[in-house]
Amino acid sequence: MGTLAAFFILSAVTLIPAVVVVTSKNIVRSALALVPTFFGITGLYILLRAEFVAGIQVLIYAGAITVLILFVIMLTEGGTGIRIRQVNEQVPVGALASAVLAALLIWVFLRTPWPQGPGALPEYTAAQIGTTLLSSMVLVFEVTSLVLLISLIGAIIIARRER
């Protein structure tokens, strides 16, 4: 019961600011409204017993990505407080696409056989993640460093060309 109530509260915390993100006329406010959304998702991770992922969610998304988004907005015209419309004449097409996607997701959700076992949920601890990363997922782990390197180089090249 408690978990279900927590789930609904967290969903509200996630969804209500998300609506603000897509409807606000001020794009800086949109960016700031992302923060409570990220916190709602953090709570959902906790309900799934993924504590370490929740920590990452706050540190990377709420702490880092939001600041990056704000810097990008301040770089462009959006930071000058101009009021924009977030919708254009393509609303019907967009609504149709969202409806199709939602139907698809619900269909997949209903068709998937969800495994149900006895006992408590397993906890995804940092130690387990570390062991997995360094043993069976070692190739993925090393490729990740290359991906990070490439994104670093790409970021520098793009940003410097604009100067």
Partner 1 sequence: MNWGAEIAKAVLAAVGMFTFLAIVAAMFGVLLERKIGGWIQSRLGPKHVGPQGLLQTLADTLKLLQKEHITPRAADAVVFNTAPLVVATAGLMGWLVIPFGTLGGTVLVVRDLNIGILFFAAMASMTVIGILAGGWSSNNKYSLLGALRSASQMISYELPLGMALVAVAMEAGTLSTVGIVRAQDGWMGSFIFRQFPAFVIFLVAATAEVNRVPFDLPEAESELVAGYLSEYSGMRFSLFMLGEYAEMFAMAAMTTTLFLGGWKGPLLPPLVWFFLKMYLVVFFMMWVRWTFPRFRLDQLLSLCWKVLLPAGLIWILISGYRITF
Partner 2 sequence: MLLLDWLYVAAFAVIGLLLAALSLAIVWVLSPRSAYPQKRMTYESGVVPIGQAWAQFNIRYYLFGLVFVIFAVEVIYLYPWAIVFRQLGKFAFFEMLIFLVVLLLGLAYAWRKGALEWT
Q: Which residues bind partner 1 (CB under 8 A)?
A: 2, 26, 28-29, 32, 35, 51-52, 54-56, 58-59, 62-64, 66-67, 70-71, 74, 79, 81, 125-126
CB of 85 to partner 2, least distance (A): 19
CB of 139 to partner 1, least distance (A): 20
d(CA 72, CA 51): 30
Left, alpha or beta for 49 (phi > 0: left; psi -120 to 50: alpha)? left
CB of 13 to partner 2, least distance (A): 10
Q: What is the DSSP letter of 84?
A: -
CB 38, CB 66: distance < 8 Å:
yes
Q: What sections of the chain are H helices per DSSP?
A: 2-23, 27-47, 51-56, 66-75, 91-111, 126-134, 138-162
CB 54, CB 44: distance < 8 Å:
no
Terminal CA-CA length for the chain: 56
Residue 44: closest CA among 1, 11, 78? 11
Residues 6+ apart with CB under 8 A from 68: none
Among 21, 35, 44, 47, interactor with partner 2 by CB under 8 A: 47
Among 92, 111, 122, 142, interactor with partner 2 by CB under 8 A: 142
35 binds, among partner 2, partner 1, none (CB under 5 to 8 A by kind): partner 1
> Can residue 16 be called a binding residue for partner 2 (CB under 8 A)?
no
Closest to partner 2 by CB, 94 or 130 = 130
> Can residue 96 be called a binding residue for partner 2 (CB under 8 A)?
no
Q: Which residues bind partner 2 (CB under 8 A)?
A: 2-3, 6, 39, 43, 46-47, 49, 51-52, 54, 56, 59-60, 63-65, 67-68, 71-72, 74-77, 79-81, 123, 126-127, 129-131, 133-135, 138, 141-142, 144-146, 148-149, 151-153, 155-156, 159-160, 162-163
